[in-house]
Structure 1
């Protein structure tokens, strides 16, 4: 019975991701955020359960990637698509192409698939990541889009250009040869987990101060300290 627990958690990840997709189609951003975060929780604990119960399986590995593709690839892409669609008419003077611009959002889904496929065959990524992992990418997008909705800091047109630029940047980060640490750990002591605890403290503090945009900053901080840590190790 226990060997099925990790796959059950992975299936719940997928189920939550499917609901997030429906919510994205309907423009219900709060529920997109809720269900993708729920998917991330299931994604964390399916791996934890597999290690704790020693219930590894080839099916579990493939199921995990398929679930992540929906929850952290398709669902956030749909959210970005929905947001860009609201302002597509004003993005460029070329009214003929404006309705098609929101489809750029699905580049994120394509590169999420490439990222997951690469992860499955890359034996270097057993305890850490090379490139931005898909849950972090998804958390960036859902917190960013939810956080900026209704914001008047930037015009919708400028925000649209910024989002399109970020789509290409984050797509590149998912397949880039950049070492990034994993939050998965074998113990809870300070030694060896310094970066993990630093990241957690930063996200908690940023979220208290800025609300959901604190998660956005947390992902950017995660990328920054991963790159900085990698450069330090290379120089030694």
Structure 2
């Protein structure tokens, strides 16, 4: 039974992702975001328990990617589709620009490529090359949350602008597969000396969440990328 515990946790991630797909497709983006966050929680701990119980397996690796494809691949694509559908230019010209929301699924395609590449890329055993799909998903899901819970004149103007959303879609898809080395939040031990960068990132993230709440999520992803680039230099 011990070897199946991480896989059961991974399947919990997949269950959360499928629920989020249904909710996002129905336009309940804020509730879908909660299920995705729960799925990402399970996604973090399946690997943790696999290492703790010494039961890492090839099927666990493949199952993890398949679950991530739903939670962190399909869901953000649907969310961007919904945001683009409600954007100003698509609403103003519904017949002419009806195809534009489907461009949001570039995120799903880029996520699929990123996950497939991760499984065969031997460079990504201790870190990441390109933005991990859960981090990218949090970035995309933060957009409807900002509109719902922390709307400002600027954020509403930007996040209802069709062309801004398309730029975010293309940038997101690029970051998923960019040749950018990023650190992983995996702890082999908990000493401060070996994990100073990770502790600094976690502390700054908590501070940003406390000060800015949902608005902090895009800044945390940006901080993650910047700290990774600085550490490599």
TM-score (norm. length: structure 1): 0.91
Tell me which residue corresponds to 2:73: 73
What secondary structure does 1:168 align onto? Answer: helix
What secondary structure does 1:77 align onto? Answer: helix
- 1:42-66 deviations in whole A, cap 9, x for unaligned? 0010000100111111111110000
Mapped partners of 1:157, 1:198: distance in 2: 30
What are the residue-to-residue correspondences of 1:125-204 with 2, within 5 Å? 125-149=124-148, 151-153=152-154, 154-155=156-157, 159-204=161-206
Structure 2 gaps of 5+ residues are: none
Contact 2:127/2:181 (CA < 8 Å) preserved in 1? yes
**Are 1:226 and 2:225 matched, yes or no?**
no
- 1:51-104 deviations in whole A, cap 9, x for unaligned? 01111111111100000000001011111111211226x249765331111111
Mapped partners of 2:15, 2:36: distance in 1: 10
Aligned residue pair count: 230
What are the residue-to-residue correspondences of 1:1-236 with 2, within 5 Å? 1-87=1-87, 90-91=89-90, 95-149=94-148, 151-153=152-154, 154-155=156-157, 159-230=161-232, 232=233
Per mean C-alpha deviation after superposition, the further-off stretch among 121-130 and 95-104 is 95-104
Contact 2:30/2:144 (CA < 8 Å) preserved in 1? no
Mapped partners of 1:186, 1:160: distance in 2: 44
Mapped partners of 1:93, 1:145: distance in 2: 20
Mapped partners of 2:122, 2:230: distance in 1: 23
Structure 1 gaps of 5+ residues are: none
The alignment yields a C-alpha RMSD, in angstroms, of: 1.8
Contact 2:87/2:160 (CA < 8 Å) preserved in 1? no
Q: CA deviation at 1:124?
A: 0.7
Mapped partners of 1:72, 1:171: distance in 2: 12
What secondary structure does 2:128 align onto? Answer: strand
